[in-house]
Chains A and B, each alone.
Chain A
Amino acid sequence: MRFVGSFLFPESASNLAPNVDHIYLALLALSTAITILVLVVALFFCIRYRRGSKADRTPPKGTPMRIEITWTLIPLLIFLGLFFWAAEEFFAMSRPPADATEIYVVGKQWMWKIQHPDGRREINELHIPVGRPVKLVMTSEDVIHDFFVPDFRTKQDVVPGRYTTEWFTPTKPGKYHIFCSQYCGTDHSRMVGWVYVMEPAEHARWLQRQPAPDSLVAQGERAFHSRGCSGCHVQSSAIHAPLLDGIFGKPVPLKDGSLVIADEQYLRDSILLPNKQIAAGYEPLMPTFQGQISEEELNAIIAYLKSLGDQPRQEGER
């Protein structure tokens, strides 16, 4: 059974995998049942009513209305059930838990660049401890990519110009494929990597072996100064610019009267496309940083802005 399982299923290595497999198995059972039903009935008719066979062929009487309605409604009801089951799971897949470790991922022709909250970087590899939920905040430098980990049963397109998220809790230590599954050009099939899921102790040892750079927040803070953001966005500035403390996740009133939640996308757009949305009460004085800041630096700045909450500061990776 295990052998057959490993031939038909990838490793089940995340919290999402068993649920997806269950729906898949249910679909498989249903499809097999329907296929066999159609096959057996068709075969039976083909044999029994083959030309020349002695069978009763008196034309059936009455309208087939009742039959038609039956075989319309039964599939419809089954399908509705399946829809709700899968939709519920999909909903859960799109809602990362609040305590998930946030890891930034930048896709680029043809590699994956990973930034951990503690500032460590990896290329085409992702080392994480088992049992801890992970939220990937992803964007692309060029074309659309897709971060796919079959053993976790999840994937998400990685789109230039916006952030997408994907989350999972790895449940089993091991080494798992990362595939880019959105066609992205010549070396699309080489845009692959590995997720290493480690026991906490082993992960701690791995961390020690890596040089410890500044945390992502600290890198962001440095960039915030070196890029001149702090020239405007401080209390003492000569230019009337909003203070950015505690901005993340809060509603921001805009000049045109609307209200937006300051999520990663809003912060990104404020920095790259400052004229897209102007904060209420301010002049559009902010210069654009499009083309000057790399995606990784931007991630660091955003991580820094996110850390400027009025809540106690989040420390790097616990």
Chain B
Amino acid sequence: MTTATLQAAPQPRPLTKPTYLADGKTIRSWLLTTDHKRIAILYMISITLFFFIGGAAATMMRLELLTPQGDLVTSETYNKLFTIHGVVMVWFFLIPSIPTVLGNFLVPLMIGARDVAFPKLNLASWYLFMAGGAFAVFSIITGGVDTGWTFYTPYSSTYANGHVIAMATGIFIAGFGSIATGLNFIVTIHKMRAPGLTWFRLPMFIWTIYTTSLILVLATPVLAITLTLMALERAFGVGIFNPAMGGDPLLFQHLFWFYSHPAVYIMILPGMGVVSELIPCFARKQMFGYRFVAYATVAIGVFGFLVWGHHMFVSSQSIYAGMIFSILSFAVSVPSAIKVFNWTATLYKGSIRFQTPMLYALGFVGLFTIGGLTGLFLACLAVDVHVHDTYFVIAHFHYIMVGGMVMGYLGGLHFWWPKITGRLYPERLAKLSAVTIFLGFNLTFFPQFILGYLGMPRRYPVYAPEFQVLNVFSTAGASILAVGYVLPLAYLLWSLRWGRVAGPNPWQATGLEWTTSSPPPTDNFEKTPIVTEGPYAYDAQAAEAELEAGHA
């Protein structure tokens, strides 16, 4: 355990400073705050809003897909719905989710700092994000866009109707928010760690946020360039991607996936980070192979930049390029496998409790394993030729993004909720909704693997009747999933007022964030903590002994 924990334990109460929540109650004090914790809350509210916008679009799609005829909405509307769903979920929920909410809240706390390196830039990031979101919402309200979140040219640049440019502008602006956030975290983690907190004493969550930030800073500019070029072609007829104007449509795909494959890791690495915090805490065990997991994190970040072409095996890219991208994609899956094995091994000889965050963590491991393994199918050239652009791909990335990232986010939210709000959520209800989400998720997306291999293409509102049965299963699952998502919204809000008071460290967790009060004061720590040990100094035997002695 860190010395800070030991020092904090005897005298947790006497609070000299108000909590960050009590430090200013006006709207103005929130909108002009530079406190990383308050900014985290701003982000939390905004992405929750976007999550439900994206979720509403998904609901409409699933309802439409109940029947093969395309009778609930027109094809045009359906196309707009999946575009909204994709754009909003990717750029306005998944990418910001863990980094900007949990990351903003926890990075300074976990490294023993008062704030991030550039607090004003941090607030500016949120405004950029919201400005981007406003553009996106504007283009949705005023008629929508039907390009899909991938904006493939020449469709997007020449043929599509609707507010393509407004939508792209939204993503472009939000992207600058991402870059600023990434930059902020990189500098913060490099320069502001507490004395004694060396790199290999950092919690795994910090490693993953660090790697994610690197990707944000390096990859997002490419997306900005790509969307700009697309908009130039669309607005001014500059021939870049449209072959009728001398352009190359594949160039767009190369640029787009050069960003969007690494973006997949932006969306999953932080989830891995959360799970790496939860499993040791609830198993009361040192994390198995800590260094390997840290190296694996960085390896994923680096290799992630070299595999974009696996989205283009049938695009008419050279078959030799296809082979190189295939083998590299296999290579990048190895570090992910290493992580799964290490999480599982962490359970060995632990003293395991099954509170809600742990349920989410275990769910994450299971679903991520399936998501990762089905990724191998897509890396396999000959098999990808068949399943590319079918529901197999949809199922695969939802296992990673929703089964992985959203489970990770919810697990983390429950785990740190007492730290963020000072209150505990209702445990029984939370467990129930975790199980509901797990079951609903599998019922929604597992049938889609089968649908994909049977050959149902993605983005089809009208489909062949033999695919109906599996689609009905999927929609049934989605309804369960929806209930699972609304429940936490309800009881977490409830807990703000009526939840049990948590105390500084309800999970007996290690980590600097648990050494300060809940919710923390504006300055985070009364005095700068000094770190003398590695992370996850849990002791399963001691936990059992304590249980036997009867006071835990």
Report A's interface with B, CB cutoff 8 A: 7-10, 16, 19-20, 23-24, 27, 30-31, 34-35, 38-39, 41-42, 45-46, 49-52, 55-60, 64, 67-68, 71-72, 75-76, 79-80, 82-83, 86-87, 89-91, 93-94, 109, 142-144, 146, 148, 150-151, 153-157, 159-162, 164, 177, 179-190, 192, 273, 290
Contact = CB atoms under 8 A, between A and B. Distances in A.
Interface string B20-52: 000000000000000000000000000000000
A90 B389 contact: no
B459 interface: yes
Contacts of B383: 20, 23-24, 27, 86
Contact of A49 (B152, B242, B283, B389): B283
A93 B376 CA distance: 19
Contact of B337 (A71, A91, A154, A182): A71
Contacts of A46: 347, 352, 354, 362
B316 A159 contact: yes
Contacts of A188: 75, 79, 459-460
A143 B151 CA distance: 12
B243 A161 contact: yes
A259 to B, nearest CB: 19
Nearest to B320: A91
B463 A67 contact: no
A60 B249 contact: no
Given A143-B159, A148-B457, A179-B457, A20 B345 contact: no
Contacts of A192: 464
Given A90-B385, A150-B390, 5 more contacts: A45-B348, A58-B541, A86-B381, A143-B152, A179-B460
Contacts of B376: 27, 30-31, 79, 82
A161 B249 contact: yes
Nearest to A156: B314
Contacts of A10: 453-455
The number of chain B residues touching the other chain, given as a range, is 35 or more
A160 B154 contact: yes
Interface string B188-227: 0000000000000000000000000000000000000000
A7 B148 CA distance: 30
Contacts of A150: 386, 390, 454-455
B152 A177 contact: no
Contact of B380 (A27, A179, A190): A27
Contacts of A157: 314-316
Contacts of A41: 344
B389 A9 contact: no
B288 interface: yes
Interface stretch (B55-63, B258-266, B367-375, B511-519): B367-375
Given A86-B380, A90-B382, A60 B369 contact: no
Contacts of B354: 46, 50
B490 interface: no
Contacts of A72: 334, 338
B146 interface: yes
